[in-house]
Amino acid sequence: MFERELLMIPGPTNVAPSVLRAMGKPPLSHTSLEFASKFKEALNSLKRVFMTEGEVFVVAGSGTLALEMAIANIVEPGDKVLNAVSGFFGQYFVDMCRVYGAVPRLLEVPYGMAVKPEQVKEALKEGGFKAVTVTHVETSTGVANPIKEIGEVVKKYSDVFYIVDTVCSLGGMEVRVDDWGIDVCVSCSQKCIGVPPGLALVAVSQKVLEYLEKRETPVGSWYGSFNNWLPVMQDPTKYFATPPVNMIYALHEALRIVLDEGLENRFKRHHVLAEVFRDAMEALNLKIVAERGYEADTVTAIYYPEGVNDNQFRNEMKNRGIVVASTLGPLKGKGFRVGHMGNVNQNDVISTISAIEATLKHLGYNINLGRGVKAANIF
């Protein structure tokens, strides 16, 4: 109505005006030197964000395409894959593995719990795995799985590929692709990076590129084949399929913002705002879905108090100018999710807490107005 909604959903997130302006420029020829140099700069910045010296890929598509590229390129029919599933998005890898003919072995934990490295260690003892998949931040529950520690376990198996979904963490929480031994790290544009939806972002290790040279069966996706895109990523004047020129302008500008802030500062900002938000929810006696000690700094899922209707709650929040998300899968209707990532600031978080209080009061929940805001000790 006012063109001024505050998006506090776990992506898409609020986009900086300079990124929108970059997107609004006339498209250049996708193979021109001028565009290629912008694209190359964006790829180099992205390497810094992934903390990798390996290859990075930027392809038109959403995060789901990035996940699918990982599976399509790594698995061959009959391969056994260990899928660590802690919620809705962890299951994506399982379904994709089946589509590409792999045999998934599920390591599943209940919604709200994190997958522990010891569980991965135990599961890998069965032997014969081609890959392990893990979701860093499980957006459906707000759990951050310990991908660094799981990486330590996977590293002991030199023939196993470590595939990690950082769709809801890259640029907001620490992700060290090279140090943590991640072979395929997948993400997207519309969450912590602060670009509208439309780009799949992928980092790929040397081990994967070597494997692709000698893979026995062809990769089951033409558009998603790393080998088809590699020449373009190395020299963007080359053509394989037309890159989304204006989205790459946007990425270029958004990564400039990310790196100007500095990754460490950015992680700290996300952490402080997440803690503040959780403190406020607890002060309102609301229960957080994520198990203690494994809460994500980018998104929080919260259970409704008894009797609160999901649609009513989110509509009332929207009437106050703040958009929050529903919970997913078995938690559908039982809670709501707030994304606090990307270009989020303390005003956004305080406004959200205040709107949650007012909305709950409006819906009849006995609440001490101001209690959450007071607990959000941001100073």
Ligand X SMILES: Cc1ncc(COP(=O)(O)O)c(C=O)c1O
Count, residues near ligand X per rule CB under 6 A: 13
CB-nearer residue toward ligand X: 186 or 308: 186
For 73, residues 6+ apart whose C-beta sits below 8 A from its C-beta are 184, 208, 212, 219, 221, 224, 225, 226
Among 28, 31, 40, 62, binds ligand X (CB under 6 A): 62
| The one segment of 41-49, 74-82, 160-168, 259-267 that binds ligand X by CB under 6 A | 160-168
Peptide bond into 236 cis (omega under 30): no
Over its C-alpha atoms, the chain yields an Rg (Å, rounded) of 21
CA distance 108 to 118: 13
What is the closest distance, in whole angstroms, from the C-beta atom of residue 86 to ligand X in the complex? 10
* 246's tokens: 């204006």
Q: Which stretch binds ligand X (CB under 6 A): 34-42, 46-54, 162-170, 332-340?
A: 162-170
64 belongs to the binding site for ligand X (CB under 6 A): yes
Instruction: Confirm or reject binding of residue 193 to ligand X (CB under 6 A).
Output: no
Helix (H) or strand (E) holding 122: helix 117-124
Q: Are 311 and 301 in contact (CB under 8 A)?
A: no
> Cα(320)–Cα(304) distance, rounded to whole angstroms?
18
Question: CB 305 → ligand X: shortest distance, Å?
Answer: 26
Instruction: Report the nearest approach of ligand X to the CB of residue 217 (Å).
Output: 26
| Segment near ligand X (CB under 6 A); pick from 21-29, 95-103, 124-132, 165-173 | 165-173
Of all residues in the shown chain, the one whose CB is closest to ligand X is 63
62/303 Cα distance (integer angstroms): 28
Verify binding: residue 339, ligand X, rule CB under 6 A.
no
Q: Which of 6, 7, 8, 11 binds ligand X (CB under 6 A)?
A: 11
Neighbouring-strand partners of residue 336? 302, 326
Q: Is 277 left (phi over 0), alpha (psi -120 to 50) or beta?
A: alpha
| 59, 195, 286, 337 from 139: Cα distances, Å | 22, 18, 19, 9
State which of residues 36, 115, 132, 188 lies at the interface with ligand X (CB under 6 A): 188
Nearer to ligand X (CB atom), residue 63 or residue 151? 63
Contact code string over 244-283 relative to ligand X, x by CB under 6 A: ----------------------------------------
23: nearest Cα among 219, 248, 222: 248
List interacting residues with ligand X (CB under 6 A).
Answer: 11, 62-64, 67, 89, 92, 135, 139, 165, 167-168, 188
